[in-house]
Amino acid sequence: MLIYIKVMLTAIIVFVIILSVIVFIHELGHFMVARYFGVKCDEFGFGLPPRFIGIVKNNEGKWEVVKANSKKEYQRTILSLNWIPVGGFVAIKGENGEDKEATDSFGSRPIWQRISMVSAGVIMNIVLAFAILTFGFLVGLPSVTEDLPAGAEISDPQIQVFTVLDDSPAGLAGIEPGDTIQEINGTVFSDTEDLQNYIKDHQEDEMEIALSRQGDEVNLTVTPALLEETGETGIGVGLADIGLVSYPVHWAVIRGAESTVYLTKAVVLAFYDLFKNMIVKQEVAVDLSGPVGIAVLTGKFARMGFAYVLQFAALLTINLAVINFLPFPALDGGRVLFLTIEKIRRKPIPQKIEAAIHNTGFLLLLVILALVTFRDIARASDKIIGGIKSLIGM
């Protein structure tokens, strides 16, 4: 169990680092666009308040230290380091409806500029995903190794399961999409063709299959059978040759852009299906995870290697970008919705009403987050409790 505790601590640290970078880049987007439009930002901080210390340029152009409990107002942005080391924040002047008369406030700007400032965080998250994927394709990311362009280099080749037929020998044995086949009956295979030929030559034999599943080793026993779908004897899996694929710079940029577009589209469609099933079928057809569940996933990808962590980080930043742009109160998408309504009505919604709606939405998000997190903890409770008992010698 001590090993489990160490793994969880590693997962938490990696998750906090990834989340901090994603949130910091998101807030940096808001900050840069606000400053571009001449809107004052009172403070831009790394981490979340309370403030540990800050610095700011005074009227003489010299850097001045800002203490944690300082209430002094400055003409320029305070750059701060805060006690909670997760992400960051930006305090934009007038972002909550105050100071509309000031020329350097958020509320004084045209609606298109305000929408740009609100949307900038999400855009920066997509840009971050592109940067991560481009860097990943320079050093090597997990990819299918078929039909690659000239110049692509392959390392760590593996055979991965991408489909499993229902009620097939593989499905009944517990093989899952995403598993990689390490060996069968002690035999290691160079590619899918060799593996498929082995299965054809041993159609009546029981097979001991060694798999890798998100960093964990899994051993299963499978016996081939006649498959109705194909009319042939097999175990019922679709296979693909994968490996860590790296590219020259120009191809890495192209593949980074293609993958960013593909993943963004896939995440948007996934949320569309989620809400459609909730409304039409009144059911949740996907498994949702909160911070604890995502931290567990992070740990699994960390055990698989740096390349998998990069790929996971890119997918996570795209997920958070899409979520944050949903037209829901308290999210950036909800604020864009209110600004759009203001444009159509040609007058803003009363500030008290908008604030009440955003506060209600924020509380609802906290309730959902708490419920999902509670479920994540319940799933891992046995291992967590066992690890704590082992740690304290019980």
Determine phi and psi for 236, rounding to 5 degrees: 90, 40
Asked whether 175 and 254 are in contact (CB, 8 A), the reply is no
Q: How high is the pLDDT of residue 385?
A: 44
* Predicted confidence band of residue 394 (pLDDT cuts 50, 70, 90): very low
Structure tokens that stand for 178 in this block:
């995403």
Stretch 301-324: mean pLDDT, rounded? 87
Quick: pLDDT tens for 168-223: 888 888 988 888 999 998 888 888 888 888 888 887 788 899 998 877 788 999 88
Mean pLDDT taken over the chain: 84
Amino acid found at 166: D
**3-class SS at 317?**
helix
Answer whether residue 221 is part of any domain.
yes
Taking 3-state DSSP, the helix, strand and coil percentages for the chain, each rounded to the nearest 5, stand at 50, 20, 25
Quick: pLDDT tens for 33-88: 999 999 999 999 999 889 999 999 887 878 999 888 887 888 889 999 999 888 88
CA–CA dist 135, 141 (Å, integer)? 9
pLDDT of residue 253 exceeding 90, the answer is yes
Q: What is the secondary structure of 143-181 as a DSSP string? A: EE-SSPPTT-EEEEEEEEEEEE-TTSHHHHHT--TT-EE
Answer whether residue 24 is part of any domain.
no
Answer whether residue 381 is part of any domain.
no
Q: How high is the pLDDT of residue 91?
A: 93
- Using a 10 angstrom Cβ sphere, with 0-12 exposed, 13-18 middle and 19 or more buried, the burial of residue 322 is buried
pLDDT of residue 135 exceeding 50, the answer is yes
Answer whether residue 211 is part of any domain.
yes
Answer whether residue 364 is part of any domain.
no
Domain tally for the chain? 1
Count CA atoms closer than 13 A to 67's CA, side-chain side. 4
Stretch 284-296: mean pLDDT, rounded? 58
Report the share of the chain in percent with pLDDT over 90: 37
Answer whether residue 212 is part of any domain.
yes
Asked whether 83 and 49 are in contact (CB, 8 A), the reply is yes
Q: Alpha-carbon dihedral of residues 30, 36, 40, 46, nearest 10 degrees? A: 40
Amino acid found at 142: P
Asked whether 30 and 90 are in contact (CB, 8 A), the reply is yes
Q: How high is the pLDDT of residue 391?
A: 38
Q: How high is the pLDDT of residue 234?
A: 84
Rounded to 10°, the helix 291-304/2-36 angle is 110
Q: How high is the pLDDT of residue 37?
A: 95
CA–CA dist 220, 372 (Å, integer)? 31
Amino acid found at 115: I
Answer whether residue 286 is part of any domain.
no
Structure tokens that stand for 29 in this block:
């987007």
Stretch 148-169: mean pLDDT, rounded? 87
User: Which span out of 119-133, 274-288, 303-317 was modeled with the highest average pLDDT?
Assistant: 119-133
Determine phi and psi for 64, rounding to 5 degrees: -130, 140
Answer whether residue 205 is part of any domain.
yes
For residue 207, list its beta bridge partners.
Answer: 222
Torsion over CA: 9, 10, 16, 19 (sign): negative
Enumerate the H helices of 140-248 as residue ranges.
169-173, 192-201
Question: What CATH number did the domain enclosing 237 receive?
Answer: 2.30.42.10
Q: How high is the pLDDT of residue 365?
A: 84
- Its domain, for residue 215, covers 153-246
